[in-house]
Homo-oligomer: A and B are copies of this chain.
Amino acid sequence: MSLEFKIEARSGKARAGVMKLAHGEVLTPAFMPVGTLGTVKAMSADELKEIGYQLILGNAYHLYLRPGHDLIKELGGLHKFMNWDRSILTDSGGFQVYSLAVLRKLSDEGVEFQSHLDGSRHFFSPEKVMETQEALGSDIVMPLDDCPALPAEPERLRESVGRTVAWAKRSKEKKTRDDQALFGIVQGGVDPGLRKECLRQLCEIGFSGYALGGLAVGEEPKLRAEVVATMSELLPRDRPRYLMGVGPIEECLDAVRQGIDLFDCVLPTRNARNGQLFTSRGKLVIKNAKYAQDPAALDPECGCYVCRHYSRAYLRHLYVSNEILGVRLNSWHNLYYYRRFFERMREALVAGKFEEFYGEQKKVFASWEDQ
């Protein structure tokens, strides 16, 4: 079995689980830092371990283009290439083909696109994307899906669902490695009927886990939350559930309450590079002049390496001086914030106090002011 999943505690629809993968256990709910190109930006693998991450995300589209999946395979796979011996989920690149590349031709066979790097032409079929991810050797692989930008016409959404299901089936048929788990991706935009139909067909095929894809692509957060609420009633209870590309910490909390187990987003690392840092009292913009002489830790309630050793004044100095160490420390702190928040959600679930935690945290978020 490429993926075992055990639920250890529940609170309403929310659950605390343990996911066993080829490279070890992952406690859920879990947030995955995004390591698009074989590196979580500015961080070393050892630092991610020190923070406590057990699962990170890579991207098949990006690694296919640069440095190439065959090269990574020759060098012993993605884990070895990037010196990370814990688990990796690779996204198929379906989203990137639509959002980043120049889309040339979309058919039931696959998708022809031009690289965002050099304009070179490539063709992704579901089979090609499975081969790519088998070469990378990630622990969880995602099938190629048809991921339209929202809002989209009903007809386009219907087409996307049909194609996504057919491609998922072909992906499963193509799969050869026993040490990789394949997830199904539910498309259907913000149309509950289409989403349900997509999920029903995916469940008939059967996957190790189920992902809600095609969200965080332009729709209102409120509509997204409705999709999550609706689908969480229907997603198989014994399988991990992954809300792709989300996101804001408040939304993660709500989605965990709805029964989502896995998340990924560039938000903590991208915000870090822009100097926007998470604290227990709200987002802090480190370049603000008021921090120039501030000897306090970024977040006095945070126990991370950065908050234990550096002042806001130093972090601001690094930011305004454009020093790489600033990006490093900011990324470290934000990733720690996400990790610790997910850990606290799980602790509350295991202790049977999730609703209490949820209520308190909602109040905290409501009180947040930009710092």
Q: Give the B-binding residues of A (Cβ under 8 A).
A: 37-39, 41-44, 66-67, 71, 74-76, 81-83, 292-293, 295, 309-311, 313-314, 316-318, 320-321, 323-325, 327-328
Copies in the assembly, this chain = 2
Taking the closest CB of chain B, its distance from the CB of A271, in whole angstroms, is 15
Complex Cα spacing A311 to B78, Å:
12
Closest Cβ neighbor of A294 among chain B residues: B75
**CB <8 Å contact, B325 and A67:** no
Say whether, besides A44-B328, A324-B327, A313 and B67 are in contact (CB < 8 Å): yes
**CB <8 Å contact, B325 and A293:** no
**CB <8 Å contact, A314 and B82:** yes
Contacts of A42 in B (CB 8 A): 324-325, 328
The residue that A75 contacts in the complex, of B38, B41, B313, B327, with Cβ under 8 A, is: B313
Of A44, A313, A325, chain B has the most CB atoms within 10 Å of the CB of A325
The residue that A317 contacts in the complex, of B37, B44, B309, B321, with Cβ under 8 A, is: B37
Contacts of A71 in B (CB 8 A): 292-293, 313
The residue that A325 contacts in the complex, of B44, B66, B75, B81, with Cβ under 8 A, is: B44
Complex Cα spacing A247 to B52, Å:
40
Taking the closest CB of chain B, its distance from the CB of A309, in whole angstroms, is 5
Complex Cα spacing A310 to B71, Å:
15
Contacts of A311 in B (CB 8 A): 75, 81
**CB <8 Å contact, B37 and A321:** yes
Complex Cα spacing A71 to B292, Å:
8
A39-B323, A39-B325, A74-B295 are known; give 12 further A-B pairs, CB within 8 A. A37-B317, A37-B321, A38-B317, A41-B325, A42-B324, A42-B328, A67-B316, A67-B317, A75-B313, A75-B314, A83-B310, A324-B327
**CB <8 Å contact, A324 and B293:** no
**CB <8 Å contact, A320 and B83:** no
Taking the closest CB of chain B, its distance from the CB of A270, in whole angstroms, is 13
Complex Cα spacing A67 to B321, Å:
9
**CB <8 Å contact, B74 and A321:** no
Complex Cα spacing A41 to B327, Å:
11
Closest Cβ neighbor of A41 among chain B residues: B324
**CB <8 Å contact, A323 and B293:** no
Taking the closest CB of chain B, its distance from the CB of A329, in whole angstroms, is 8
**CB <8 Å contact, B38 and A314:** yes
Taking the closest CB of chain B, its distance from the CB of A17, in whole angstroms, is 31
**CB <8 Å contact, B66 and A320:** yes
Taking the closest CB of chain B, its distance from the CB of A353, in whole angstroms, is 36
Q: List 25 A-B contacts (CB under 8 A).
A: A37-B317, A37-B321, A38-B317, A39-B318, A39-B325, A41-B323, A41-B324, A41-B325, A42-B324, A42-B328, A66-B320, A67-B313, A71-B292, A74-B295, A75-B311, A76-B295, A81-B311, A81-B313, A81-B314, A81-B317, A82-B314, A83-B309, A83-B310, A324-B324, A324-B328
